[in-house]
Amino acid sequence: MQEFSSDGVRIAYIDIGEGEPILLLHGFASNHSINWVFPQWIKTLSGAGRRVIAYDARGHGQSEMLYRAEEYGIPLMAEDAGNLLDHLGVERADVMGYSMGARVAAVLALSHPARVRSLVIGGMSDKLVSSAGLGPEIAAALEAPSAADVKADGEKMFRVFAEATRSDLKALAACARGARLKVDAAELGGLRLPTLVAVGSKDDIAGDPRRLAALIPGAQALSIPDRDHNRSVGDPVFKRFVLAFLESRS
C-alpha cells in the first residue's frame, strides 16, 4: 500500500487500474482488503476498465491508529476521502461506501458535491437519517475483557468481527464513540447525482433500501436476495447492479 498525510493523519491506500476513477470506502472494523479485495470488488471494477482507489479509514487496517473520539468525526473522515482525491489529482470520482463507509460517502457527496460523480450506498438504509450510528454500547463491547463478556448479540457480533480482522480494539472503541452523525433528510433531498442504495434482503442491521432511496431524488434501490449485512458485500447480484449502474449513470 501507498501512504499520504491527510491533515497530519497517515492514510494507507491502493490505486489500481486505469479509466474512470471510483473511490471505495469500507465499513466499521473492516479495511480495504476485507471489504474490497477479498470479495473481488477490485478485480471486478478494474476488469471493467475502471481506476479503483481504496483506502483504510483512520483507525483501521494499515492507516494511523487514533485514540480520541473527537478524531473520528464523520466530517473528518469525509475530508480524508476528499484529501486522497486531491493527493491523486482526481477532480471527480464515482464513490461507493459500505455501512460506516456509506455514511462517510454521503457526507462527502453533501459537502463536496462537485467531487462525486455518482454515489453507491451499500449496507445502509434510512438509518442514515434516523440514527447517528454505532455508539457507546459498541465501544463498551470492544473494551470488554473478552468477547465472552459481551452478552448482547449485536454488540458481540461487532467484537467478534473486530477480533477476526485483527483490529486495534482501543482505536475502534474511540471510532464507535466519535463516528456518529445523523444526515439531514432535507439535505439528502437536495442531492442531484445518480445514486444507488443496496442492502441485503436479510440485513437486519441496515433495513429496507427503498426507505433511503425515497429520500434522494431519482435514487435506485436494490434488495440483494438472501443476504445479511456481512454476506451482501461480495454478492454477484450486487456487483452486476453496480456495474450496470456505473455504465448507465449520466
CATH code: domain of residue 219? 3.40.50.1820
Q: Max Cα separation, the chain? A: 51
Mean pLDDT of 52-60: 98
Region 127-146: mean pLDDT is 95
In a domain, 152, yes or no: no
pLDDT for 72: 97
pLDDT at 103: 97
pLDDT above 70 as % of the chain: 100
The residue written with cell numbers 454488540 in the block is 155
Q: Tell me if 74 is assigned to some domain.
A: yes
How many other C-beta atoms lie within 10 A of the C-beta of residue 189? 12
- Give the number of domains in the chain: 1
CA distance 40 to 38: 5
Q: Indicate if the pLDDT at residue 249 is higher than 90.
A: no
Whether 140 maps to a domain, the answer reads no
How high is the pLDDT of residue 88? 98
Q: 99 CB contacts (<8 Å, ≥6 apart)?
A: 27, 28, 30, 122, 123, 124, 205, 206, 229
User: Which tens digit of pLDDT belongs to each residue from 203-227?
Assistant: 999 989 999 999 999 999 999 999 9
Cβ contacts of 75 within 8 Å, gap of 6 or more: 107, 111, 181
* Domain that residue 82 falls in: 2-128+183-248
Q: What pLDDT, on a 0 to 100 scale, did the predictor assign at position 82?
A: 98
Identify any residues that bridge with 96 across adjacent strands, giving them in sequence order.
24, 120
The answer to the question of residue 175 being in a domain is no
How far is residue 25's CA from residue 185's CA, in Å, rounded to a whole number?
22
Mean pLDDT computed over every residue of the chain = 96
116-122: strand order across its sheet: 2-6, 9-16, 50-55, 20-25, 93-98, 116-122, 195-200, 220-224
Percent of residues, the chain, with pLDDT higher than 90: 96
pLDDT score recorded for residue 68: 97
Residue 153 within a domain? no
Q: Got the DSSP string for 50-108?
A: EEEEEEPPTTSTTSPP---GGGG-HHHHHHHHHHHHHHHT-S-EEEEEETHHHHHHHHH
Question: Stretch 176-202: mean pLDDT, rounded?
Answer: 96
For the cut 80, the answer to whether the pLDDT of residue 126 exceeds it is yes
**Confidence band for 14, pLDDT divided at 50, 70 and 90:** very high
What was the pLDDT predicted at 107? Answer: 98
